[in-house]
Amino acid sequence: MYDILTNIFGNQIVAYIIGAALPLFVWILPFVLFAVLGERKVSAHMQDRLGPMRVGYHGILQTVADLLKLLQKEDIVTPAADRKLFNLAPYIVFLGSYAAFAAIPFSSIYIGSGIEVGIFYILAVSSFVVVGILMGGWASDNKYSLLGAMRSAAQIVSYEIPTAIVVLTLVMLTGTLNLNTISQQQTAYFWNWNILGGAAGSGITQILLIPFMVIAFVILFISTLAEVNRTPFDIPEAESELVAGFHTEYSGMKFAMFFLSEYANMFAVSAIVVTLFFGGYQSPFGYLGNSLGIPWLIPVEQLFWFLAKGVFFVFVQMWLRWTLPRLRVDQLMTVCWKYLIPYAVFNLLIVGIISLL
């Protein structure tokens, strides 16, 4: 990808800077604008309402209007707040979720960094979010924020374990940490996807693997939901208890940064689920570019499939949010430590045995 950009801009450094900024401006910002509206529309239609209808056709410009409003808002810092940490926190949170995009393969030619330890890198940088949340919660000098931040830290750290175990299962099967390679392995038709045991090749092992891959997928999806603080795990910002949790005291653009990273995170975790289980950028059917004989169409199609799958899982997250109540903080820990982790470990063992067959 960087070769193309270097060709266009003539300078390698400029090309890298632009390459790093591309996902932000080409995908994350438009996605967040779209997803915030999408969330409101999805919730509205689930609740027998219309949602925003005034700004633009069926309210499509509502988020833009909201963003403009947030830009104009006064930036309030509570007097007793630790100013440095308070100001830094939203950016660290955003950094954590944005950095994850670097290793996500959007398409076979578009990947920020094709590092060999891609999935490991994503797991590592997304933990950065915890630091930002703790910072924000502590620096706000608000008891609700502090409680929210503590819960959040406990939750995210706990749920990283089942995530990591499921990722380990996949790594064991595919033999690589590189997300691009994992995507490439799942090429050609949907029965090669990992959710259908694609990584094991073919034959009886593949069929044996299917139920365990489904279990692994469910565990991964639940724990990623918890990592991005979505219902039923939205305890850190449980509005009915903690007002707005760790970002209670934030206003204006700093609040918008938290919001932005929440939605960016939603897509990032969906992207991981898609890459690990649902073929990544691979089309479930053949490629139009192949049959028409237009090679450059293939990466574009791949981009489309990747985004479509990612957006679908974001939709599932919204769907769950507007259907389920919230777990209590101790029940959340119970789910993680008593159910998800043992199941994930057990699943790992079984998958290991099956792959040896």
Partner 1 sequence: METKTLKTEELILNMGPQHPSTHGVLRLELELEGELIVNVKPHIGYLHRCFEKHAEAMTYPQVVPYTDRMDYLASMSNNLGYAIAVERLMGIKVPERVEYIRVIMAELQRIASHLVALGTYGVDIGAFTPFLYCFRDREKILSLFEMTCGARLLYNYIWVGGLSHDIHPDFVRLTKEFVEYFRPKIVELNELLSFNKIFIERTANIGILPLDTAINYGVTGPMLRASGLKWDLRKNDPYSIYDRFDFDIPVGEGEKGTVGDSWDRYFVRVQEMEQSLRIVEQAIDQIPEGNVHEAVPKRVKPPKGSIYSRVENPKGELGFFIISDGSVNPFRMKVRGPSFVNLSVLNEISKGHLVADLIAILGSTDIVLGEVDR
Contact set with partner 1 (CB under 8 A): 43, 46-49, 143-144, 147, 231-232, 234-235, 238-243, 322-331
Kindly tell me which of 73 and 143 has the beta carbon lying closer to partner 1: 143
Kindly tell me which of 124 and 218 has the beta carbon lying closer to partner 1: 218
Contact by Cβ (8 Å): 166, 216? yes
Kindly tell me which of 143 and 338 has the beta carbon lying closer to partner 1: 143
Cα–Cα distance measured from residue 243 to residue 178, given in angstroms and rounded to the nearest whole number: 40
Kindly tell me which of 84 and 338 has the beta carbon lying closer to partner 1: 338
Kindly tell me which of 290 and 331 has the beta carbon lying closer to partner 1: 331
Min separation Cβ 42 and partner 1, Å:
11
Min separation Cβ 241 and partner 1, Å:
5
Kindly tell me which of 162 and 232 has the beta carbon lying closer to partner 1: 232
Which residues 6+ apart lie within 8 Å of 55 measured at CB?
61, 62, 64, 65
Min separation Cβ 225 and partner 1, Å:
13
Going from the C-alpha of 11 to that of each of 16, 18, 201, the distances in angstroms are 9, 11, 43
Contact by Cβ (8 Å): 183, 279? yes
Min separation Cβ 30 and partner 1, Å:
26
Min separation Cβ 62 and partner 1, Å:
19
Min separation Cβ 216 and partner 1, Å:
22
Kindly tell me which of 65 and 150 has the beta carbon lying closer to partner 1: 150
Contact by Cβ (8 Å): 78, 141? yes
Min separation Cβ 255 and partner 1, Å:
17
